[in-house]
Amino acid sequence: MNRNKIKYLIFAFLSALIIYINYTPAIKSVYQTPNYYKFFEGEKVKFNFNLPLKVGFYTDRQGIVKINNDESGNNILNLDKPFSVETLNCGKVNINFRLFGIFPIKSIYVDVIPTIKVIPGGDSIGVKLNTKGALVVGYSDIIGTDDKIYSPYREGKIQIGDIILEINNIKINSADDITDIINNQKDTMITLKISRKGNIVYSKLHPVLAKDDKKYKLGLWVRDHTAGIGTLTFYTEDKKYYAALGHAITDIDTGDILSVNNGQIMKSKITSVSKGKRSSPGELRGIFLEEVDTIGDIEKNTEYGIYGKIINPIGISLKPIPIGYQSQVIEGPAKILTTIDNTGVKEFDIQIIKKVDQKNPNQKGMIIKIVDKELLDKTGGIVQGMSGSPIIQNGKLIGAVTHVFVNDPTKGYAVYAEWMINEMENLHHDENVFKN
């Protein structure tokens, strides 16, 4: 047999072996593990693949992690037994898996960071938000004093979702400001400064004198504030920055995220519960008094909740606990903290029935199911007003409730806590907000 044929047979054999190895169920299960893990400094995590494989673990840096108490960076382990990964120092390291220590099958990137601790919430809060400018939510034609129908918004090409920031260089803080300005200007052309999908545009149009009340109008329905009930997720022990809701406050008509001019969160007293049913989401109903019960200010309204600083104590005395990142979340039992009556924050059982590995922020990181009998009896599951309820697993705050499934109120979505942490850090990037 000539040398070329031998080389060909060896190549074919090795290729077939690699293909076979890569497609065996055991190897495929290793492939399905996340490519990225974030751990706290000093943390010890156990893994159990329960697979009949011998795998080599090789790290590209020493002193960051040790595997099964070995810091050498070269470990050959049988995956049919549990093993541990312990973090030693902050830093970043790649861990390469090689079957029998030879064939590369997986690479995992590990980021070791300082421990972040927060005080979990669960308190029911009232939320009042005043928008920056006035949000256009609808149109209305005007009957003029000459009995003709006018649509001045058409002249200005105003769109639903536009935010009117200024009229003739005068700042708009409320809907009443628009009425006052255009009636002082009377029938002269006005210039609107508008925020449209994040871009600034200018528009000119003529207000019309209405026949019914003799006032000048633009033919626009606008909104300048909103209010409702939600749940506090967590706050920092030292500087008292808070996070709540887990999702944005949006306009009920346009669905747009409302910009913040100013706002407050307040202590809320639950007055009643509308139980959730299939195709009919339930609701927590409550009352709050702005003059008496203000807790803090709203500084930011984002896709992942509202953020600000607590001004007055809120009366809960829970101890700080670590944040858990998505790589530390496991499908299975967990708890939520929430308020459904006037007995205060309570802990309820849930199941995390699915987790989604996310490289980029998204509100739908986990699917959860309420399994606590008391909570099911009182609310039917997840109801409006529970958004922001913190989720606790293995002593860590791992996320917050965000949405309910309309056709099954026992189930809903949750956002990972790390995306809420990112939002808070972005808001106060020049401060150490998690100093404990």
Neighbours of 284 (CB within 10 A): 25
Cα–Cα separations (whole angstroms), residue 77 to 82, 111, 196, 258: 9, 22, 58, 53
Structural Rg of the chain based on CA atoms: 28
Pick the closest to residue 53 from 97, 118, 112, 86 (CA basis): 97
Catalytic residue among 111, 256, 341, 372: 372
Cα–Cα separations (whole angstroms), residue 92 to 104, 111, 369: 20, 5, 35
Active site residue 225: no
Active site residue 29: no
Collect all residues with Cβ–Cβ distance below 8 Å to 256 and sequence separation of at least 6.
135, 161, 250
Catalytic residue among 268, 387, 389, 403: 387
Q: Between vectors from CA 45 to CA 43 and to CA 50, what angle results, nearest 5°?
A: 170
Catalytic residue among 123, 224, 247, 327: 247
Alpha-carbon dihedral angle through residues 372, 118, 245, 309, given to the nearest 10 degrees? 150
- Structure tokens that stand for 194 in this block: 């508008």
Per-residue confidence (pLDDT) for residue 16, from 0 to 100: 47
Residue 433 gets which letter from DSSP?
Answer: T
Active site residue 387: yes
Strands 103-113 and 36-40, bridge-based pairing: parallel
Per-residue confidence (pLDDT) for residue 252, from 0 to 100: 79
* DSSP H/E element including 336: strand 332-338
**Is the overall model pTM greater than 0.85, yes or no?**
no
Secondary structure of the chain: what % helix, strand, coil (to 5)? 15, 45, 35
Pick the closest to residue 306 from 267, 342, 264 (CA basis): 264
Complete DSSP assignment for 363-426: S-SEEEEE--HHHHHHHSS--BT-TT-EEEETTEEEEEEEEEETTEEEEEEEEEHHHHHHHHHH
Print pLDDT tens along the chain (436 aa): 566 666 555 555 455 445 445 545 555 666 667 777 777 787 777 777 776 767 777 787 788 888 877 776 677 777 777 878 888 888 888 888 777 667 677 788 888 888 888 999 999 999 998 888 889 989 999 999 998 999 888 888 999 889 999 999 999 888 889 989 988 877 688 899 999 888 899 999 889 999 888 889 999 999 888 888 999 999 988 888 999 999 998 887 777 888 888 889 988 888 888 888 888 888 888 888 766 678 899 999 999 999 999 887 665 557 889 999 888 899 999 999 999 988 889 999 999 999 998 888 888 999 999 999 999 999 999 999 999 999 999 999 999 999 999 899 999 999 999 999 988 888 766 566 665 4
